[in-house]
Amino acid sequence: MTKKAFFWLFSLVFVAGFLFRVTALELRPMHHDEANQALKFGALLEQGEYRYDRTDHHGPSLYYLTWPFARLLAGGTLALQSETTLRLVPACFGLGAMLLFLLFLPSLGRPAILFSVLGLALSPAMVYFSRFYIQETILVFFLAGFLASLWRYVLRPSAGWALAAGFFAGMMYTTKETSVIAFASAATAFFLTAIYKKKKRRSGGGKNREVKSDNPDHWGRKEKISKLEPEKENRGKQENRPRLSHLAFAVSAALLVVFLLFSSFFQNLKGVIDSVLSFKIYFVRAAESTFHIQPWPYYLKTLAFSRQKGGPLWSEAFLLALALAGSATAFRPRRSSHPDRSFLKFIFFYTVIATALFSLIPYKTPWNLLSFHLGIILLAGAGAAAVFGVCRKVGCRPVALVLLTAGFFHLGWQSYRANFVFPADPRNPYVYAQTSLGYMKLVERVEFIASAQPDGRKMLIKVVAGPYETWPIPWSLRKFERVGYWQKAGEVTLSDRPALVIASAEEALQLEPFLNNIYRSEYYELRPNVLLVLFVRDDVWEDYLKARSGE
């Protein structure tokens, strides 16, 4: 594949990924996790305050990275922000991960990179959570940068690649606690790859003096190890070998990033210590018997085959099958005309280990699969390139082209369906405790009632619900100036006759005896099997009806 062909094909794929990630970002209601993150960011935006909370919210990188987006696109208050503004942050980092794949070119070659980027652009899981204001897609971006920088350092040790690897590692740690699983997986994979390579050398795999160029794009081109300029060759090896100073650069870069962000840029030095202490809390939470406990094959089943009652079939088995082909390619006996496949082995080991670790942890949410799905996609790209290369040799390239086109088209169709047809539907396997579309009717009702009131958004609203039933109400009512929150009906005072009361179904039963005479009630679905009750004071309701009749 020529550079020109690669450039235009990569650009076309990037445009497809762009459209999937940034189109109609407001279509899905805010998930309660997104709303929680948004309010946390609001404190940073409006007051310049951020304090790492080791019990919740994960790391600080999401909030600091959101700040320039928010200031540039909307302004300096949370009320001015929108779902689109906030979700553009993970969307852009999802696109950035596609660009970072270019760093793998020396190890995989253009065909494999093009297929990998195509898989990343169209994968329903990757696209769906690139439109989700949580940490996961940002973590994937920094993970891709870390793996690429680490391997580029292996290929050609330098202070620059060491610093890059340290920076990306630090950003991973400041993004989410699960980064330690990726670090452990990468370290173990690196060790296994080195052991495997050493074992092959001892068995005689390194005797052949005729090797292929480092560039995997050059099918069949061979180079002989130079014997004419041994001094120049040895000098080059000495200049490009690992040094302790490189390790110091990497560790320093990582620690600097961690210290700056967790300390809120020197405003909260305790935050750095809290980042370490948080692991005790998350280890306990990972083993707790809660709604999030799932059996070990949950992630693989979600990717391979998922179908809810009455819903369509969802599957990324195409990528899994190609990943198996890429894994087989990694361990296929190497001939002199083939490039070294150490990187593929490294990615294989990383993916298997990370998949196993995430699967063994009882606490599971669908977005956690992205950290190992990245490896699956890289292996799938190598597998697709290998299949296409073999078919070219045996004369069945048109068949391979048709099959690969059909497989990637199916991924794209599923991404369209997941994000634009079933964005909040429980029959979508990536929809998890998602706010229902019916909740938006509640928000629309409150906004219209406010428009009919003399006080407007200054009218008094009281919310009585537990934490699980409260979110994403604080985000939805961010433009209202007088909103109070209580968890229990016995804690709230109603003598001031608030214009609206929003309550969970359980607390509404306790409130009804006090509200029935002067309030009317309506029920709205917050999430499947979770209801909210809207109580509207009678005179406020009459103003609302008059406003509606005058439309």
- Where a domain ends, among 360, 391, 421? 421
Give the three-class secondary structure for 462: strand
Using the predicted structure, report yes or no on whether residue 208 has a pLDDT greater than 50.
no
Regarding whether 299 and 325 lie in a shared domain, the answer is yes
Grade residue 25 by pLDDT with cuts at 50, 70 and 90. very high
Regarding whether 309 and 364 lie in a shared domain, the answer is yes
Is residue 412 included in any domain, yes or no? Answer: yes
- Please write the tens of the pLDDT for every residue from 212-271: 444 454 433 444 434 444 444 455 555 578 899 999 999 999 999 999 999 999 999 999
63: closest CA among 271, 228, 367?
A: 271
pLDDT mean over 192-210: 71
Regarding whether 417 and 441 lie in a shared domain, the answer is no
**Residue 214 has what pLDDT?**
43
- Where a domain ends, among 421, 449, 471? 421
Is residue 229 included in any domain, yes or no? Answer: no
pLDDT mean over 107-131: 97
Q: Answer for the pair 126, 370: CB distance below 8 angstroms, yes or no.
A: yes
Is residue 358 included in any domain, yes or no? Answer: yes
- Please write the tens of the pLDDT for every residue from 275-315: 999 888 777 776 665 777 899 999 999 999 999 888 899 99
**Residue 289 has what pLDDT?**
56
Regarding whether 497 and 369 lie in a shared domain, the answer is no
Regarding whether 269 and 326 lie in a shared domain, the answer is yes
**Burial of 540: CB neighbours in 10 Å, binned 0-12, 13-18, 19+:** buried
Using the predicted structure, report yes or no on whether residue 328 has a pLDDT greater than 60.
yes
Is residue 218 included in any domain, yes or no? Answer: no
Regarding whether 410 and 449 lie in a shared domain, the answer is no
Q: What is the CATH number of the domain that holds 465?
A: 3.40.190
Using the predicted structure, report yes or no on whether residue 429 has a pLDDT greater than 70.
yes
Regarding whether 331 and 190 lie in a shared domain, the answer is yes
Whether residue 398 has a cis bond before it, omega within 30° of 0: no
- Where a domain ends, among 372, 395, 421? 421
Regarding whether 345 and 450 lie in a shared domain, the answer is no
Using the predicted structure, report yes or no on whether residue 340 has a pLDDT greater than 90.
no
Pick the most confident of 188-202, 309-323, 388-402: 309-323
Domain count, the chain: 2
pLDDT mean over 443-466: 96
Q: Answer for the pair 226, 29: CB distance below 8 angstroms, yes or no.
A: no
d(CA 548, CA 451): 10
Regarding whether 496 and 372 lie in a shared domain, the answer is no
d(CA 147, CA 252): 18
**Residue 426 has what pLDDT?**
93
Q: Answer for the pair 305, 362: CB distance below 8 angstroms, yes or no.
A: no
Domain range enclosing 460: 437-549
Query: Phi/psi at 122 (nearest 5 deg)?
Result: -110, -15
CA angle 59, 63, 67 (to 5 degrees): 155
The rounded percent of the chain whose pLDDT value lies above 90 is 79
- Please write the tens of the pLDDT for every residue from 130-185: 999 999 999 999 999 999 999 999 999 999 999 999 999 999 999 999 999 999 99
Regarding whether 181 and 38 lie in a shared domain, the answer is yes
- Please write the tens of the pLDDT for every residue from 3-24: 999 999 999 999 999 999 999 9
Using the predicted structure, report yes or no on whether residue 531 has a pLDDT greater than 80.
yes
Neighbours of 98 (CB within 10 A): 22
Residue with tokens 């306790």: 510
Contacts 24+ apart (CB under 8 A), 261-268: 261/59, 261/60, 261/61, 261/64, 261/174, 262/52, 262/59, 262/60, 262/174, 264/49, 264/50, 264/51, 264/52, 264/60, 267/50, 268/50, 268/51, 268/52
Q: Which residues pair with 232 in a beta bridge?
A: none
Is residue 245 included in any domain, yes or no? Answer: no
Is residue 252 included in any domain, yes or no? Answer: no
Using the predicted structure, report yes or no on whether residue 352 has a pLDDT greater than 50.
yes
- Please state the pTM of the whole predicted model: 0.92
Is residue 127 included in any domain, yes or no? Answer: yes
How are strands ordered across the β-sheet holding 530-537? 483-486, 461-464, 500-504, 530-537, 519-527
Contacts 24+ apart (CB under 8 A), 72-76: 76/45, 76/46
Is residue 242 included in any domain, yes or no? Answer: no
CA angle 44, 47, 52 (to 5 degrees): 40
Per-chain mean pLDDT for the chain = 90
Regarding whether 393 and 274 lie in a shared domain, the answer is yes
Regarding whether 275 and 156 lie in a shared domain, the answer is yes
